């Protein structure tokens, strides 16, 4: 965990975060690694995505490394043990002080959860279990998982409106975050965020995986390798959307910035564009767990350089620079 760094600690969503760097969804799908993730220096973590029913995921292989592009092709298809078992696991664990747990909830990847009503009921089933058990401090709706069975993701204003009208009826007592797609241009993205702004949504995670036609890779990926892209190919759009969201919505949402973070500079860029918190996963997979301590140590140097006492002073300081 290293020594505490008071200059990196902040209160966000009414919760204490020891530092702004968290694990992004997809590595600890069944919440088996929370104590380890705290020990390697993360300030919080997003586990899952979990779904109401257990799911075996897509046929393997799920991942394909693209080292030259700092990216993974991801096609896991929401493999997880299901909400009931995962919530029970968390109930049996000791609460980790100062380490907010964020559960990512997606809709079950199955033919049964394809219709809009069934998909919404599926999300609500998981949210109710989480709410009742009190095992998490934050919950995220993954509306943008691109690798699921049939149906439409909830990434149109109409469908998001239907989903969030339903989640409002739960009157959740923990903050609800929406994980936004990476592949939309700002006008379309803004329409979705406007919908979220009219509901009980405290934060936006910006953003999910990139679509393959969004970016130019050093080598084309054969079509026999299905999936969407993590890491560096997500970076530019993620930063652009964070900056626009901060500028347009001010403090309406807490922004969690994710996509292509491999260094303190990458994390600090997202913070100055408007993210209070930053998550990563591909950086950890490529560079190993020492990356987290390194990023946190180097963030202090950026604060020194810019004359900020605390990391929260840097949030959004650069959001007006973006076109």
- The vertex-291 CA angle with 14 and 286, nearest 5°, equals 115
Q: Does 124 bind ligand FMN (CB under 6 A)?
A: no
Q: Where does this chain touch ligand FMN (CB under 6 A) — which range of 34-42, 161-169, 227-235, 264-272? A: 227-235
- 74 near ligand FMN, judged by CB under 6 A: yes
Is position 41 an interface residue for ligand FMN (rule: CB under 6 A)? no
Q: Name which position in 137, 208, 245, 318 contacts ligand FMN (CB under 6 A).
A: 208
Q: Which whole-number Å values give the CA distances from 197 to 201, 208, 232, in the listed order? A: 7, 19, 29
x/- site string to ligand FMN, residues 165 to 204, per CB under 6 A? --------------x-------------------------
Least distance between ligand FMN and beta carbon 49 (Å): 4
Q: Report the candidate in 121, 128, 198 with the shortest Cα–Cα distance to residue 163.
A: 121
Among 75, 108, 110, 142, binds ligand FMN (CB under 6 A): 142
Contact between 212 and ligand FMN by CB under 6 A: the answer reads: no
- What number of residues does the chain have? 323
Residue 46's SS3 state is: strand
Classified as helix, coil or strand, 33 is: coil
Choosing from 22, 26, 41, 243, the residue that interacts with ligand FMN (CB under 6 A) is 26
| CB-based contact 162:120 (threshold 8 Å) | yes
Residue with smaller CB distance to ligand FMN, 145 or 163? 145
Beta bridge pairs of residue 63: 74
- Count interface residues toward ligand FMN (CB under 6 A): 26
156 close to 167: Cβ distance less than 8 angstroms:
no
Residue 135 near ligand FMN by CB under 6 A: no
Q: CB under 6 A: which stretch of 162-170, 187-195, 229-237, 240-248 binds ligand FMN?
A: 229-237
Minimum CB separation from ligand FMN for residue 151, in Å? Answer: 16
Per CB under 6 A, 126 contacts ligand FMN: no
Q: Is 43 in the site for ligand FMN (CB under 6 A)?
A: no
Nearest residue to ligand FMN on Cβ basis: 26
The C-alpha angle with vertex 272 and arms to 266 and 277, in degrees rounded to 5, equals: 70
Minimum CB–partner distance for residue 46 and ligand FMN (Å) = 7
User: Using the rule CB under 6 A, which residue among 41, 43, 181, 259 binds ligand FMN?
Assistant: 259
Beta bridge partners of 15: 12
Structure tokens at 153: 């993701």
3-state secondary structure of 282: helix
Note whether 63 binds ligand FMN by CB under 6 A.
yes
SS (H, E, C) 212-235: HHHCCCCCCCCCCCCCEECCHHHH
CB-based contacts of 57, cutoff 8 Å, min separation 6: 76, 77, 78, 79, 80, 109
Q: Which residues bind ligand FMN (CB under 6 A)?
A: 24-26, 48-49, 63, 72, 74, 76, 104, 142, 145, 179, 208-209, 230-231, 234, 258-261, 280-283
């Amino acid at each position: 965990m290293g020594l505490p760094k008071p200059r990196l600690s902040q209160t966000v969503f009414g919760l204490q975060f020891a530092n702004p760097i968290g694990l992004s969804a997809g590595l600890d799908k069944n919440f088996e690694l929370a104590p380890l993730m705290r020990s390697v220096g993360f300030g919080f973590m997003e586990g899952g995505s979990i779904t109401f029913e257990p799911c075996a995921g897509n046929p393997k292989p799920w991942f394909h490394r693209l080292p030259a592009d700092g990216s993974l092709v991801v096609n896991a298809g929401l493999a997880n043990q299901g909400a009931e078992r995962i919530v029970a696991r968390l109930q049996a664990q000791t609460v980790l002080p100062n380490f907010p747990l964020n559960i990512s909830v997606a809709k079950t990847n199955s033919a049964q959860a394809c219709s809009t009503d069934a998909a919404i009921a599926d999300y609500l089933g998981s949210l109710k279990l989480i709410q009742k058990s009190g095992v998490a401090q934050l919950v995220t709706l993954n509306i943008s998982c691109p690798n699921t069975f049939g149906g439409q993701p909830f990434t149109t204003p109409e469908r998001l409106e239907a989903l969030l009208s339903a989640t409002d009826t739960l009157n959740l007592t923990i903050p609800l975050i929406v994980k936004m797609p990476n592949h939309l241009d700002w006008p379309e993205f803004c329409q979705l965020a406007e919908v979220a702004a009219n509901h009980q949504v405290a934060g936006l995670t910006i953003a999910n995986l990139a679509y393959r036609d969004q970016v130019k890779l050093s080598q084309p990926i054969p079509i026999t390798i299905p999936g969407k892209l993590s890491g560096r190919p997500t970076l530019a759009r993620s930063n652009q959307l964070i900056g626009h969201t901060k500028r347009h919505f001010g403090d309406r949402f807490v922004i969690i910035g994710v996509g292509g973070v491999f260094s303190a500079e990458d994390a600090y860029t997202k913070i100055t564009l408007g993210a209070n918190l930053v998550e990563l996963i591909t950086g950890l997979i490529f560079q190993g767990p020492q990356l987290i301590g390194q990023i946190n140590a180097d963030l202090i140097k950026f604060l020194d350089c810019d004359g900020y006492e605390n990391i929260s002073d840097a949030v959004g300081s650069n959001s007006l620079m973006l076109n």
